[in-house]
A = this chain, B = another copy of it.
Amino acid sequence: MRDVAALARVSLKTVSRVVNREPGVSDDLLDRVEEAIRLLGYRHDATASSLRRTDRRTATIGLLLDDVANPFSSAIHRAIEDVARQRQTLVFAGSSDSDAGREAEFVRALAARRVDGLIVMPVGPDHAALLHERQLGLPMVFIDRLATSSAVDSVVADNRGGLRAAVRHLAEAGHQRIGFLGDLRTIWTAEERYLGYVEGLATYGLQLDPMLVRRDVRGVEAAERATHALLGCAHPPTALITGQNLLTIGAIRALRAAGPHFQVAMIGFDDFPLADLLSPPVTVVAQDPVAMGQTAALRLFARLDGDESPGKQLVVPTHLIVRDSAGAAR
């Protein structure tokens, strides 16, 4: 910038005005500066700029997901990117793999780079480390998992409602023995979905049989094993609800291995591509990751624009997509 100023024979401040498109620069100087910028291949340094600027904005946000390669997470990521771009904001994305240590490390790294805000899918129920950063002044929105503190907003899916709808659908088809596969119970959504399952059973007059429930199941292969175990027990379920997208896939594999067409009805939580082309097509409780991402990003930017109201808890509806895997009890 010094070089530009020297070449254009103006002051530093004038170059700064041109670069920031501030009004009140004569056409003559404006041309000279722009010419000098082109000649020297000058590139504005946004980091130095934000250091000196009063608002200290870096036009940068952090996004911490469970795994950027999971389709649910990457759909959220994309939705957030689209909102951020309209604000000329770049997104640092990272994966926690449900590991509190990685979460803490990532948040530290983001804070050190002075991101303007953070959207995070918290790893566990203990938000102390995250809230510590929040108190130090980092605006924060939780996505997919509820905040207990009113210092942060959260955007979550209607997990319980979705599970109740799934139970209802199966109960109305005559199922009495409905199994459930759930992710790590430290994950908020896994707990909520389980509670929705329990509520659903109660609502539709069904017994909760602990033998039909497998929790803390993580990943495709564990789900496959858990489903096999469920099918092999003394009184196997006639229907199965899976509480996460990878668990759904594992259960489908196990049911498929047990017979060419499912002998057991099933409903998955979270829709996935090609669910309608499997045999049978898989009934699911669909979430809306795009709406969740958009909502979270808008909330964060509202905070950056000065919204100081207490933390909101925003719930995005889920809805049952009836395909064919959850037919009548046999």
Contact = CB atoms under 8 A, between A and B. Distances in A.
Contact of A74 (B58, B68, B90): B68
Contact of A88 (B77, B85, B90, B109): B109
A249 interface: yes
Interface string A296-321: 00000000000000000000000000
Interface residues of A, number: 45
A47 B77 CA distance: 24
Interface string A104-146: 0000011111100000000000000000000010000000000
Interface in A80-109: 81, 85, 88, 90-95, 109
A249 B276 CA distance: 12
A41 interface: yes
A90 B90 contact: no
Contacts of A44: 112
B94 A92 contact: no
Interface of A: 41, 43-48, 50-51, 58, 60, 67-69, 71, 74-75, 77-78, 81, 85, 88, 90-95, 109-114, 136, 249, 252-253, 256, 272-274, 277-279
